[in-house]
Protein backbone atom coordinates (compact mmCIF):
# COMPACT_ATOMS: atom_id res chain seq x y z
CA UNK A 1 0.00 0.00 0.00
CA UNK A 2 1.53 3.28 -1.12
CA UNK A 3 1.14 6.26 1.17
CA UNK A 4 2.05 9.90 0.91
CA UNK A 5 2.28 12.24 3.87
CA UNK A 6 1.13 15.86 3.64
CA UNK A 7 1.01 18.62 6.21
CA UNK A 8 -1.12 21.63 6.97
CA UNK A 9 0.91 24.82 7.51
CA UNK A 10 0.62 24.30 11.31
CA UNK A 11 2.31 20.88 11.06
CA UNK A 12 -0.83 18.69 11.29
CA UNK A 13 0.15 15.65 9.23
CA UNK A 14 -2.08 13.30 7.31
CA UNK A 15 -1.44 10.19 5.24
CA UNK A 16 -3.15 9.59 1.91
CA UNK A 17 -3.49 6.24 0.19
CA UNK A 18 -5.62 4.85 -2.61
CA UNK A 19 -7.83 6.40 -5.26
CA UNK A 20 -11.57 6.83 -5.50
CA UNK A 21 -14.17 8.69 -3.46
CA UNK A 22 -12.53 10.49 -0.51
CA UNK A 23 -12.91 9.35 3.09
CA UNK A 24 -11.33 11.02 6.15
CA UNK A 25 -10.65 8.82 9.20
CA UNK A 26 -10.38 10.47 12.63
CA UNK A 27 -8.70 8.57 15.44
CA UNK A 28 -9.65 8.69 19.12
CA UNK A 29 -8.00 9.66 22.42
CA UNK A 30 -4.56 8.20 23.15
CA UNK A 31 -4.23 7.06 19.52
CA UNK A 32 -2.85 8.28 16.23
CA UNK A 33 -4.01 7.63 12.67
CA UNK A 34 -2.22 4.26 12.80
CA UNK A 35 -5.21 2.86 14.64
CA UNK A 36 -6.90 2.53 11.20
CA UNK A 37 -4.04 0.67 9.50
CA UNK A 38 -5.89 -2.65 9.10
CA UNK A 39 -8.90 -0.90 7.58
CA UNK A 40 -6.88 1.38 5.28
CA UNK A 41 -4.97 -1.58 3.85
CA UNK A 42 -8.27 -2.90 2.48
CA UNK A 43 -10.29 0.29 1.90
CA UNK A 44 -7.50 2.05 -0.02
CA UNK A 45 -8.16 -0.45 -2.84
CA UNK A 46 -11.43 1.38 -3.58
CA UNK A 47 -11.27 4.75 -1.84
CA UNK A 48 -8.97 7.71 -1.35
CA UNK A 49 -8.23 7.33 2.35
CA UNK A 50 -7.04 10.41 4.24
CA UNK A 51 -5.84 9.74 7.76
CA UNK A 52 -4.76 12.66 9.94
CA UNK A 53 -2.76 12.46 13.12
CA UNK A 54 -4.54 14.98 15.33
CA UNK A 55 -2.32 17.74 16.81
CA UNK A 56 -0.02 16.35 19.50
CA UNK A 57 -0.15 12.77 18.17
CA UNK A 58 1.85 10.62 15.73
CA UNK A 59 3.52 12.74 13.05
CA UNK A 60 1.70 15.86 14.32
CA UNK A 61 3.35 16.28 17.72
CA UNK A 62 4.64 19.75 16.71
CA UNK A 63 1.16 20.96 15.74
CA UNK A 64 -0.10 20.91 19.32
CA UNK A 65 1.77 24.09 20.32
CA UNK A 66 0.12 25.88 17.37
CA UNK A 67 -3.39 24.94 18.56
CA UNK A 68 -4.53 28.31 19.88
CA UNK A 69 -8.13 27.27 20.62
CA UNK A 70 -8.35 23.92 22.37
CA UNK A 71 -11.78 22.59 21.50
CA UNK A 72 -13.25 19.78 19.40
CA UNK A 73 -14.76 22.49 17.16
CA UNK A 74 -11.26 23.83 16.49
CA UNK A 75 -10.25 20.28 15.51
CA UNK A 76 -13.24 20.13 13.16
CA UNK A 77 -11.77 23.23 11.48
CA UNK A 78 -8.50 21.28 11.03
CA UNK A 79 -10.53 18.65 9.16
CA UNK A 80 -11.98 21.45 7.02
CA UNK A 81 -8.46 22.75 6.33
CA UNK A 82 -7.34 19.26 5.23
CA UNK A 83 -10.42 18.90 2.98
CA UNK A 84 -9.74 22.32 1.44
CA UNK A 85 -6.06 21.58 0.93
CA UNK A 86 -7.02 18.32 -0.81
CA UNK A 87 -9.69 20.04 -2.92
CA UNK A 88 -12.56 17.98 -1.47
CA UNK A 89 -16.06 19.34 -1.94
CA UNK A 90 -17.81 16.28 -0.52
CA UNK A 91 -16.43 13.35 1.41
CA UNK A 92 -17.24 10.80 4.10
CA UNK A 93 -16.00 11.31 7.65
CA UNK A 94 -15.52 8.32 9.96
CA UNK A 95 -14.47 8.86 13.57
CA UNK A 96 -13.44 6.53 16.34
CA UNK A 97 -14.77 7.64 19.73
CA UNK A 98 -13.28 11.14 20.25
CA UNK A 99 -12.81 11.21 16.47
CA UNK A 100 -16.59 10.69 16.25
CA UNK A 101 -17.17 13.65 18.59
CA UNK A 102 -15.08 15.72 16.15
CA UNK A 103 -17.02 14.29 13.19
CA UNK A 104 -20.25 15.47 14.86
CA UNK A 105 -18.75 18.94 15.42
CA UNK A 106 -17.82 18.97 11.74
CA UNK A 107 -21.32 17.83 10.69
CA UNK A 108 -22.78 20.64 12.82
CA UNK A 109 -20.82 23.31 10.93
CA UNK A 110 -20.19 21.90 7.44
CA UNK A 111 -23.05 19.46 6.74
CA UNK A 112 -22.98 20.30 3.00
CA UNK A 113 -19.45 18.86 2.74
CA UNK A 114 -20.46 15.36 3.87
CA UNK A 115 -22.17 12.57 1.94
CA UNK A 116 -22.27 10.44 5.11
CA UNK A 117 -20.48 10.06 8.43
CA UNK A 118 -19.72 7.30 10.88
CA UNK A 119 -19.56 6.98 14.65
CA UNK A 120 -17.24 4.09 15.43
CA UNK A 121 -17.61 3.29 19.14
CA UNK A 122 -18.70 6.89 19.60
CA UNK A 123 -21.63 8.91 20.87
CA UNK A 124 -23.54 12.14 20.39
CA UNK A 125 -24.12 12.49 24.15
CA UNK A 126 -22.20 15.04 26.14
CA UNK A 127 -20.26 13.72 29.16
CA UNK A 128 -22.44 12.71 32.10
CA UNK A 129 -21.60 14.12 35.55
CA UNK A 130 -19.98 10.78 36.46
CA UNK A 131 -17.88 10.80 33.33
CA UNK A 132 -16.73 14.36 34.02
CA UNK A 133 -15.81 13.41 37.59
CA UNK A 134 -13.82 10.40 36.27
CA UNK A 135 -12.04 12.53 33.68
CA UNK A 136 -11.10 15.05 36.40
CA UNK A 137 -9.70 12.21 38.52
CA UNK A 138 -7.71 11.00 35.51
CA UNK A 139 -6.35 14.51 34.88
CA UNK A 140 -5.19 14.64 38.51
CA UNK A 141 -3.62 11.18 38.15
CA UNK A 142 -1.79 12.22 34.93
CA UNK A 143 -0.47 15.36 36.66
CA UNK A 144 0.72 13.43 39.71
CA UNK A 145 1.89 10.12 38.19
CA UNK A 146 2.64 11.04 34.57
CA UNK A 147 1.19 9.99 31.22
CA UNK A 148 2.82 6.51 30.91
CA UNK A 149 1.35 5.25 34.23
CA UNK A 150 -2.07 6.54 33.21
CA UNK A 151 -1.91 4.91 29.76
CA UNK A 152 -0.74 1.59 31.25
CA UNK A 153 -3.94 1.52 33.29
CA UNK A 154 -6.30 2.99 30.71
CA UNK A 155 -5.43 1.22 27.45
CA UNK A 156 -6.20 -2.38 28.53
CA UNK A 157 -9.67 -1.27 29.68
CA UNK A 158 -10.51 -0.40 26.07
CA UNK A 159 -10.50 -4.07 25.04
CA UNK A 160 -12.99 -6.87 25.63
CA UNK A 161 -12.04 -9.47 28.26
CA UNK A 162 -11.57 -12.45 25.92
CA UNK A 163 -9.56 -10.42 23.43
CA UNK A 164 -7.40 -9.08 26.25
CA UNK A 165 -6.68 -12.58 27.52
CA UNK A 166 -5.74 -13.86 24.05
CA UNK A 167 -3.98 -10.87 22.45
CA UNK A 168 -1.68 -9.31 25.00
CA UNK A 169 0.76 -8.60 22.12
CA UNK A 170 -1.74 -6.23 20.45
CA UNK A 171 -2.42 -4.42 23.69
CA UNK A 172 1.33 -4.11 24.36
CA UNK A 173 1.82 -2.69 20.85
CA UNK A 174 -1.00 -0.18 21.41
CA UNK A 175 0.58 0.87 24.69
CA UNK A 176 4.07 1.14 23.18
CA UNK A 177 2.73 3.42 20.42
CA UNK A 178 0.98 5.62 23.00
CA UNK A 179 3.82 6.00 25.48
CA UNK A 180 5.25 9.01 23.70
CA UNK A 181 2.16 11.10 24.49
CA UNK A 182 2.79 14.25 26.50
CA UNK A 183 0.77 14.63 29.70
CA UNK A 184 -0.19 18.11 28.52
CA UNK A 185 -1.69 16.71 25.29
CA UNK A 186 -3.74 14.03 27.06
CA UNK A 187 -5.05 16.54 29.59
CA UNK A 188 -5.99 19.01 26.85
CA UNK A 189 -7.96 16.33 24.98
CA UNK A 190 -9.79 15.33 28.16
CA UNK A 191 -10.68 18.98 28.77
CA UNK A 192 -11.95 19.32 25.19
CA UNK A 193 -14.16 16.25 25.65
CA UNK A 194 -15.50 17.52 29.01
CA UNK A 195 -16.66 20.75 27.40
CA UNK A 196 -18.24 19.26 24.29
CA UNK A 197 -22.02 19.76 23.91
CA UNK A 198 -24.77 17.21 23.45
CA UNK A 199 -25.14 16.63 19.70
CA UNK A 200 -28.06 14.24 19.31
CA UNK A 201 -29.75 16.98 17.22
CA UNK A 202 -27.09 16.39 14.55
CA UNK A 203 -28.17 12.75 14.39
CA UNK A 204 -31.91 13.40 14.36
CA UNK A 205 -31.48 16.15 11.76
CA UNK A 206 -29.05 14.20 9.57
CA UNK A 207 -30.02 14.34 5.89
CA UNK A 208 -27.27 11.84 5.04
CA UNK A 209 -26.65 8.22 6.04
CA UNK A 210 -24.89 7.56 9.35
CA UNK A 211 -22.84 4.46 10.20
CA UNK A 212 -22.76 3.16 13.77
CA UNK A 213 -20.26 0.50 14.82
CA UNK A 214 -20.69 -0.70 18.42
CA UNK A 215 -19.03 -3.26 20.68
CA UNK A 216 -21.06 -5.36 23.09
CA UNK A 217 -18.24 -5.05 25.67
CA UNK A 218 -17.42 -1.40 25.12
CA UNK A 219 -16.92 0.25 28.52
CA UNK A 220 -15.95 3.68 27.15
CA UNK A 221 -19.12 4.13 25.05
CA UNK A 222 -21.62 1.61 26.24
CA UNK A 223 -23.87 -0.40 23.97
CA UNK A 224 -27.13 0.89 25.45
CA UNK A 225 -26.14 4.52 24.72
CA UNK A 226 -25.24 3.61 21.15
CA UNK A 227 -28.45 1.65 20.66
CA UNK A 228 -30.48 4.58 21.97
CA UNK A 229 -28.91 6.87 19.37
CA UNK A 230 -28.84 4.74 16.25
CA UNK A 231 -32.53 5.19 15.50
CA UNK A 232 -32.22 8.99 15.42
CA UNK A 233 -30.95 9.51 11.85
CA UNK A 234 -33.35 8.95 8.95
CA UNK A 235 -30.91 6.38 7.56
CA UNK A 236 -28.64 4.43 9.91
CA UNK A 237 -26.29 1.57 9.08
CA UNK A 238 -25.56 -0.49 12.16
CA UNK A 239 -22.90 -3.07 12.99
CA UNK A 240 -22.78 -4.61 16.47
CA UNK A 241 -19.52 -6.43 17.14
CA UNK A 242 -20.02 -9.33 19.55
CA UNK A 243 -17.51 -9.50 22.38
CA UNK A 244 -15.66 -6.44 21.11
CA UNK A 245 -14.73 -3.64 23.46
CA UNK A 246 -13.97 -0.09 22.33
CA UNK A 247 -11.41 -1.08 19.69
CA UNK A 248 -13.30 -2.92 16.94
CA UNK A 249 -10.67 -1.79 14.41
CA UNK A 250 -8.22 -4.12 16.14
CA UNK A 251 -10.50 -6.54 17.99
CA UNK A 252 -12.67 -7.43 15.00
CA UNK A 253 -10.87 -5.88 12.04
CA UNK A 254 -12.60 -7.92 9.33
CA UNK A 255 -16.14 -7.10 10.39
CA UNK A 256 -15.22 -3.49 11.06
CA UNK A 257 -13.69 -3.16 7.60
CA UNK A 258 -16.62 -4.90 5.87
CA UNK A 259 -19.15 -2.67 7.66
CA UNK A 260 -17.23 0.43 6.58
CA UNK A 261 -16.79 -0.82 3.03
CA UNK A 262 -20.49 -1.63 2.63
CA UNK A 263 -21.41 1.79 3.97
CA UNK A 264 -18.96 3.57 1.66
CA UNK A 265 -20.08 1.53 -1.37
CA UNK A 266 -23.71 2.38 -0.57
CA UNK A 267 -22.87 6.11 -0.43
CA UNK A 268 -21.24 5.85 -3.84
CA UNK A 269 -24.29 4.25 -5.35
CA UNK A 270 -26.53 7.11 -4.22
C1 LIG B 1 -11.63 7.61 22.92
O2 LIG B 1 -11.36 6.43 22.65
O3 LIG B 1 -11.47 8.54 22.10
C4 LIG B 1 -12.12 7.94 24.31
O5 LIG B 1 -12.38 6.77 25.02
C6 LIG B 1 -13.33 8.78 24.25
C7 LIG B 1 -13.87 9.15 25.60
O8 LIG B 1 -13.16 9.01 26.61
O9 LIG B 1 -15.01 9.62 25.67
Ligand 1 pocket: which of 72, 193, 226, 251 to mutate (most atoms <8 Å of CB)? 193
> Which of the four pLDDT bands, split at 50, 70 and 90, describes residue 268?
confident
pTM equals: 0.97
Is the pLDDT at 71 greater than 90? The verdict is yes
Q: 254 burial class (0-12, 13-18, 19+ CB within 10 angstroms)?
A: exposed
CA–CA dist 55, 16 (Å, integer): 17
pLDDT band, residue 44 (cuts 50/70/90)? very high
**From CA 236, how far away is CA 239, in angstroms rounded?**
10
Average pLDDT over residues 108-117: 98
Instruction: Decide: 29 in ligand 1 pocket, CB within 6 A.
Output: yes
72-101 per-residue burial string, b: 16 or more CB within 10 A, e: under 16? bbebbbbbeebbeeeebeebbbbbbbbbbb
Q: What's the gap in Å between 175 CA and the centre of ligand 1?
A: 15
Cβ neighbours around 142 below 10 Å, total: 22
Contact 134, 154 (CB under 8 A): no
| C-alpha torsion 252→256→259→263, nearest 10 | 180
Q: Can you tell me which atom of ligand 1 is nearest the CA of 98?
A: 3
The Å distance, Cα 220 to ligand 1 centre, comes to 6
d(CA 93, CA 114): 7
Cβ–Cβ < 8 Å for 90, 114? yes
Helix (H), strand (E) at residue 143:
helix 129-145
Return the ∠ at Cα 165 (arms to 161 and 171), rounded to 5°: 90
The CB of 28 under 6 Å from ligand 1? The reply is yes
Position 270 pLDDT exceeds 70: no
pLDDT digits (tens, 9 = 90+) for 139-188: 999 999 999 999 999 999 999 999 999 999 999 999 998 888 999 999 99
- Residue 18's region, left for phi above 0, alpha for psi from -120 to 50, else beta, is left
Q: Are 137 and 236 in contact (CB under 8 A)?
A: no
Determine what percent of the chain is predicted with pLDDT higher than 70.
Answer: 100
pLDDT tens digits, 230-261: 999 999 999 999 999 999 999 999 999 999 99
- pLDDT per position as a tens digit, 185-231: 999 999 999 999 999 999 999 999 999 999 999 999 999 999 999 99
Sign (positive/negative) of CA torsion 158, 162, 168, 169?
Answer: negative
Amino acid sequence: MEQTVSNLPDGTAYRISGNGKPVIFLHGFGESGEVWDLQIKELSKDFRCIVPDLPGTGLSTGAFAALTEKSLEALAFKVKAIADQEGLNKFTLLGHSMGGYIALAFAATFPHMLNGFGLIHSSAYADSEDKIANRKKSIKFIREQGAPKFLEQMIPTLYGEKFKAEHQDIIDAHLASALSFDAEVLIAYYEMMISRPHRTGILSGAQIPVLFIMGTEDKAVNLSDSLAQCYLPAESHIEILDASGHMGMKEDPERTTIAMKQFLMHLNEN
